[in-house]
């Protein structure tokens, strides 16, 4: 029996790879798209219309830093016109009060602000951008003044996981409704920094306990989303909610991918919105059909009762660690490679490297 084609509900629109920050855990690819290769305003407007027709409800306007696009105002208007719920994912650097006012007036629905650490010293070191933290605090104030709902996004790693409680306090002080505690995922530039970023098992266990108690304490005030560390997990996360099932990502040059890191899988062929309709790519594109559903699975996933819970985990992680994107994610304890993944984590912790910063595009 063939798998019925689902409809996507969320789309990540990577408007640009340009960004003033240089975070060592950046998930953008090592080869960044140049400004002259980016989709135009009109091309994005068409993509938003096509996405809405396909069933997409939410668009995440992301990057790089989306404010690096001079036409962010027009792009926001086009997404609003397509009746998409618009979420701006930003470092805050590059936004002004006037710009935020304008975006809010155009109908922007939500802002997700990344924080690289709970104070200026840590945040500016991690982001490789002096003055970034203070700018973010200012931007958070403007977001509150506009009455826009705010999510604080905190990527946690060995260098800041012990300050998680402070990050939670900061999110509360900024008036965030939601905090995303995302333990670093190793894709793109982050792969180069595993020796600097890999948390210890003890840190991860403490963080899991901190999140559990904060969720209890802050019920009704702050929603905390938690992406735990894969390397110490028993089961993988259902990456992207399942491949080609509920979400898709568009790169700055218009490449359509089942997840933001899918081009780390070398044998996949990606279509471009300049050549083919989004609906056609979603339903029949090679990259989307490769791992959709459960029929592609081998053992142990094929006969596992969690196969429709986590969909075999993350294809990009299976590729990065085992060199086989169709294998069970090694984060799963049923994977024959699970032990190797734990050993890798210990080795990376022992390396204790300095950051290798992402270059600016």
**Taking contact as CB under 6 A, which single stretch among the options 176-184, 246-254, 314-322, 325-333 is the one that binds ligand SF4?**
325-333
* DSSP letters spanning 7-55: ---EEEEE--S--S---TT--S-SSPPPGGGSPPHHHHHHHHHHHHHHT
Count of residues of this chain found to bind ligand SF4 when the rule CB under 6 A is applied: 14
**How far apart are CB 218 and ligand FES at their closest, in Å?**
29
Which of 125, 206, 334, 338 contacts ligand SF4 by CB under 6 A? 334
**How far apart are CB 334 and ligand SF4 at their closest, in Å?**
4
Sheet holding 58-62, edge to edge: 223-227, 178-183, 150-156, 110-115, 85-90, 58-62, 10-14, 247-250, 256-257
> Is residue 332 a contact point for ligand FES (CB under 6 A)?
no
Is the alpha carbon torsion for 202, 316, 353, 180 positive or negative? Answer: negative
> Is residue 233 a contact point for ligand SF4 (CB under 6 A)?
no
Task: List the structure tokens of 104.
Answer: 């809010």
**Taking contact as CB under 6 A, which single stretch among the options 47-55, 152-160, 173-181, 254-262 is the one that binds ligand FES?**
254-262
DSSP state of 359: P
Which of 300, 326, 344, 353 contacts ligand SF4 by CB under 6 A? 300
The entry of ligand SF4, ligand FES, none near residue 81 (CB within 5 to 8 angstroms by kind) is none
The Cα 251–Cα 240 span in angstroms is 16
Burial 210-235 (b: 16+ CB within 10 A, else e): bbeebeeeeeeebebebebbbbbbeb
Is the alpha carbon torsion for 9, 15, 17, 20 positive or negative? Answer: negative
> Is residue 236 a contact point for ligand SF4 (CB under 6 A)?
yes
Which of 156, 184, 328, 349 contacts ligand SF4 by CB under 6 A? 328
**How far apart are CB 201 and ligand SF4 at their closest, in Å?**
20
Task: Calculate helix-pair angle for 315-322, 338-351, nearest 10 degrees.
Answer: 70
**How far apart are CB 248 and ligand FES at their closest, in Å?**
11
Cβ partners under 8 Å of residue 277, min gap 6: 50
Phi, psi of 41 (to 5 degrees): -55, -45
The entry of ligand SF4, ligand FES, none near residue 300 (CB within 5 to 8 angstroms by kind) is ligand SF4
**How far apart are CB 142 and ligand SF4 at their closest, in Å?**
43
Which of 315, 320, 322, 341 contacts ligand FES by CB under 6 A? 315
**Taking contact as CB under 6 A, which single stretch among the options 17-25, 122-130, 255-263, 295-303 is the one that binds ligand FES?**
255-263
Restricted to residues 166-205, the positions that interact with ligand FES (CB under 6 A) are: 187
> Is residue 329 a contact point for ligand SF4 (CB under 6 A)?
yes
As a whole number of Å, the CA-based R_g of the chain is 20
* Cβ atoms of 98 and 107 closer than 8 Å: no
**How far apart are CB 259 and ligand FES at their closest, in Å?**
3
* DSSP letters spanning 227-249: E--GGG-SS---GGGSTTTSEEE
Which of residues 42 and 308 has its CB atom nearest to ligand SF4 in the complex? Answer: 308
The entry of ligand SF4, ligand FES, none near residue 334 (CB within 5 to 8 angstroms by kind) is ligand SF4
The Cα 273–Cα 51 span in angstroms is 11
Q: Which chain residues interact with ligand SF4 by CB under 6 A?
A: 235-236, 300-301, 304, 306-307, 310, 312-313, 328-329, 332, 334
Applying CB under 6 A, which residues contact ligand FES?
Answer: 187, 239-240, 259, 261-262, 314-316
């Amino acid at each position: 029996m063939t798998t019925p084609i689902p409809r996507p509900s969320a789309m990540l629109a990577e408007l640009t790879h340009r960004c003033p920050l240089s975070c060592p855990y950046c998930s953008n690819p090592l080869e960044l798209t140049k400004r002259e290769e980016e989709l135009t305003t009109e091309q994005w407007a068409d993509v938003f219309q096509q996405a809405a027709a396909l069933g997409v409800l939410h668009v995440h306007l992301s990057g790089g830093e989306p404010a690096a696009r001079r036409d962010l105002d027009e792009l926001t208007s086009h997404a609003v016109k397509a009746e998409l719920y618009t979420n701006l994912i930003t470092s805050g650097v590059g936004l002004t009060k006037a710009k935020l006012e304008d975006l809010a007036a155009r109908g922007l629905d939500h802002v997700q602000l990344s924080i690289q650490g709970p104070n200026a010293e840590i945040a500016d070191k991690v982001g490789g951008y002096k003055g970034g933290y203070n700018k973010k605090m200012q931007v958070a104030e403007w977001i509150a003044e506009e009455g826009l709902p705010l999510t604080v996004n905190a990527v946690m790693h060995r260098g800041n996981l012990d300050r998680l409680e402070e990050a939670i306090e900061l999110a509360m002080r900024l008036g965030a409704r939601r905090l995303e505690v995302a333990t670093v995922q190793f894709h793109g530039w982050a792969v180069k920094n595993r020796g600097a970023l890999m948390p210890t098992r003890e840190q991860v266990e403490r963080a899991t306990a901190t999140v559990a108690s904060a969720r209890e304490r802050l019920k009704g005030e702050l929603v905390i989303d938690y992406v735990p560390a894969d390397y110490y997990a028993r089961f993988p996360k259902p990456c992207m909610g399942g491949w080609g099932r509920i979400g898709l990502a568009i790169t700055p040059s218009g490449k359509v991918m089942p997840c933001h890191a899918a081009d780390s899988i070398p044998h996949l062929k990606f279509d471009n919105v300049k050549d083919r309709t989004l609906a056609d790519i979603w339903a029949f594109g090679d990259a989307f059909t490769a791992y959709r559903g459960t029929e592609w699975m081998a053992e142990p996933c094929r006969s596992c009762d969690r196969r429709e819970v986590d969909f075999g985990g993350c294809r990009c992680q299976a590729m990065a660690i085992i060199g086989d994107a169709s294998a069970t994610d090694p984060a799963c304890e049923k994977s024959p490679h699970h032990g190797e993944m734990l050993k890798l984590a210990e080795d990376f912790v022992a390396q204790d490297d300095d950051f290798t910063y992402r270059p600016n595009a």
